[in-house]
Amino acid sequence: MLDRLPGNPHDLSALATTIKMVSSCFNSLWCAPLAPVGFCHTGDKVFAWRRKGKVILNRRGKGSALQAAKPMRRPGARNHIGVSRFPNPVQNCYINSCLQSLLTLEDFVTDIRRQEHVWSAIPEATLMKYSTPQTQGQRIVKYAKVFDNTSSPLPPPTRSFMDIAASHFSKDYFHKISLLVAFKRAVSTWNPLFGDHCQKDAHEFLISVLAQMRSLVPRLQERAAAMGGAYVCPVESHLVFRMRNTRTCKSCGAGSAVEEQFTNLSLDLLPGSGVAQMLEDYQAGSDLEYRCSCGTNTSRRCSSFVSLPRVLVLHLKRFSFAQYLELKKVHDPVALPGELVVPSSQGLGGFRLVSIISHMGTTAISGHYVCDGVDPGLGQVDPTDCWLTYNDAMVTKRSGATLCRDRQTTAYILFYQRRVRGRNTSN
């Protein structure tokens, strides 16, 4: 799926008209239920696929041709790869990559699902809710209306992370598009930065989603208490960890310490090093200007882990400001270890790399995000080292070792899952 539409990406009326004509053509050609599995713009053509045929319409809707295509198989236990894709109609690869990484964290998704009775009871939790079932025609028409008028409100139940999780292996392409648009709307109501159709930073989007989920905690805990139970935030139980930041005077040794909570760490790139060395450098700290009571103006600041999360998210600073505040991309290679050992006040913690979000492109103002993740169909322990590369609507098989080598210059966000007693998650 292309990230950029031909012409003005903000003028989507022609796109909506074409989609309506495609759905009309489907209804006239086939009486059986429709199952479109692809949609893209290439030049002046719009393609829409179904089980046994392909309809081609130009952007003005003039003329159509039917061509033979291979029938799609039903997704099964060993046929989930081709249907776990997400479409990218309007520069939303940053959304797709973040969602694919979060969906790789099976225990995280399970914790959200098992507390459905709590978050489904309050209207504010639209980011996590399930949507009501709709017919194929309703989904296509809604998709056309969404892009025809991006300011039109959507029903709150459609704005759901869990509905996207439930439809992860669905072949219903148009339904996935409507869910992605609704999810983006839900995020943008809390953070207007993501309300337009421009490309955004994947790291900023990820932390915004996690912060929005955490903002619901007081309301959800209150609701759970009224129901005679308790609510545990999945973000806090899986991704949040505590660090102690210590400041020490370089002259007299006096200092102070404060503990902070994090959902991720942003690491400076060190040429010729790896993630483990960058994490050590982060904890080693740096000098800072601070006037101590002894009269010295220089102190040393360092950090250490107080607690370790179930999933450690590391953000590699691939973008930095050059002269005249020009944003540039840093292409320095970084060794990506499949295993990572992290010390803390509670002892050593072993982590396994389970997902990578990469930024493909030569500059900071353009590019494309892709996600690599462990194959969800092979369980928590995978001796075959089978990974999947999610490039929007295209999903391919790769090996973890190959990806760790190939992503050294493009890796942007890393997800390390903690190993406990032979598993990849802490319980």
Same domain, residue pair 192 and 328? no
What pTM was computed for the model? 0.76
Q: Is 294 within a domain?
A: yes
Same domain, residue pair 397 and 277? yes
> Is the Cβ–Cβ distance between 297 and 327 less than 8 Å?
no
Same domain, residue pair 129 and 207? yes
Backbone angles phi, psi at 245, to 5 degrees: -100, 120
Domain residues for the domain of 414 are 241-419
Closest Cα partner for 70 from 53, 85, 57, 46?
Answer: 53
Q: Is 209 within a domain?
A: yes
Q: Is 305 within a domain?
A: yes
Q: Are strands 64-68 and 368-374 parallel, antiparallel or unpaired?
A: unpaired
Same domain, residue pair 260 and 165? no
Q: Are strands 265-267 and 311-316 parallel, antiparallel or unpaired?
A: parallel
Instruction: Tell me what the pLDDT averaged over the chain comes to.
Output: 76
Same domain, residue pair 299 and 393? yes
Average pLDDT in the 104-110 region? Answer: 93
Q: What are 327's strand-pairing partners?
A: 321
Same domain, residue pair 210 and 319? no
pLDDT greater than 90 at residue 339: yes
Same domain, residue pair 51 and 189? yes
- CATH assignment at residue 281: 3.90.70.10
pLDDT greater than 90 at residue 244: yes
Same domain, residue pair 137 and 264? no
Same domain, residue pair 139 and 202? yes
pLDDT at 142: 47
Backbone angles phi, psi at 292, to 5 degrees: -85, 165
Q: How many domains does the chain have?
A: 2
Same domain, residue pair 199 and 330? no
pLDDT at 48: 36
Q: Is 219 helix (H, G, I), strand (E, B) or coil?
A: helix
Per-residue model confidence as pLDDT tens digits over 246-271: 988 877 877 788 999 999 999 999 88
Same domain, residue pair 59 and 168? yes
* Domain edge (last residue) among 184, 219, 254: 219
